[in-house]
Amino acid sequence: DAKTTQPPSMDCAEGRAANLPCNHSTISGNEYVYWYRQIHSQGPQYIIHGLKNNETNEMASLIITEDRKSSTLILPHATLRDTAVYYCIAPAGNNRKLIWGLGTSLAVNP
Amino acid sequence: DTAVSQTPKYLVTQMGNDKSIKCEQNLGHDTMYWYKQDSKKFLKIMFSYNNKELIINETVPNRFSPKSPDKAHLNLHINSLELGDSAVYFCASSQGQGSHSEQFFGPGTRLTVL
């Protein structure tokens, strides 16, 4: 089963890039890494996922190291509305369910 | 248009009561989930249904019984509510079975057991 490790909290200035790291050193070769976020009092929201290659969408970019043991989620121009808990997740078990940790609480400051 | 909806949003009830939470998705997805988020903010999967069939059933007391009348609905019935059941319950859906599929979450139901 893949487990992920993230810093409990981070700060970022509004307008700057937010780089959120995640370690997943036990991830196996065919397991994707997923990123979700949860804004206070709302349901989690999907951001992006990747396997080996770097990925980019309208919300963020995902940089995955060549050995796949870690990844970084990049919010290129953070806004106050990006203040949330960010979860880095990898599926686990025979039924491939997502294992959620406590994530990183990102505070975007004006 | 709401993609995944849950009712009620808030539920306050006494210990020992039986209650239900309803979930509906209008995304045409074939897989639905129930998650529990406790006071420490851990989000844990409870159940998953694919095309009305149970595919994930975590170690959850049998007081919790999911019911899927059709692909678009997954309801959660809880018997004999206990204090420890107080949490936020999230419903989610995905196209395909979870691991390689983006999950869409509902707004959550905050259950408080007194």
Structure tokens at B104: 């869409």
Rounded CA gap, A6 and A100, in Å? 11
* Position A92 confidence tier, pLDDT thresholds 50, 70, 90: low
Own/partner contacts of A60-67, CB < 8 Å, gap of 24 or more, are A60/A35, A62/A33, A62/A35, A64/A33
Tell me the chain A residues in contact with residue B104 when contact means C-beta distances shorter than 8 Å: 46
Count Cβ–Cβ pairs < 8 Å, chain A vs chain B. 56
pLDDT tens digit sequence for A54-87:
999 999 999 999 999 999 999 999 999 999 999 9
Contact B45 A97 (CB under 8 A): yes
- Whether A40 and A86 have beta carbons less than 8 Å apart is answered as no
Whether the CB of B42 is below 8 Å from some CB of chain A: the reply is yes
Query: How much is the average pLDDT of B36-43?
Result: 88
- Return the pLDDT at B27: 94
Rounded CA gap, B42 and B23, in Å? 21
- Return the pLDDT at B39: 84
Q: Residue A65: which residues within 8 A CB-CB, separation 6 or more?
A: A71
pLDDT tens digit sequence for A2-46:
578 999 999 999 999 999 999 988 887 788 899 999 999 899 999
CA distance A6 to chain B (A): 14
Tell me the chain B residues in contact with residue A45 when contact means C-beta distances shorter than 8 Å: 105
- Whether B110 and B90 have beta carbons less than 8 Å apart is answered as no
CA distance A97 to chain B (A): 6
Tell me the chain B residues in contact with residue A49 when contact means C-beta distances shorter than 8 Å: 102
Backbone angles phi, psi at B39, to 5 degrees: -65, -25
% chain B with pLDDT above 90: 66
Rounded CA gap, B39 and A89, in Å? 20
Residue B34: closest CA among B73, B83, B69 = B73
Average pLDDT, chain A: 90
Residue from the list A32, A96, A102 with its beta carbon closest to the beta carbon of B42: A102
pLDDT tens digit sequence for B46-91:
988 888 788 877 778 899 999 999 989 999 999 999 999 999 999 9
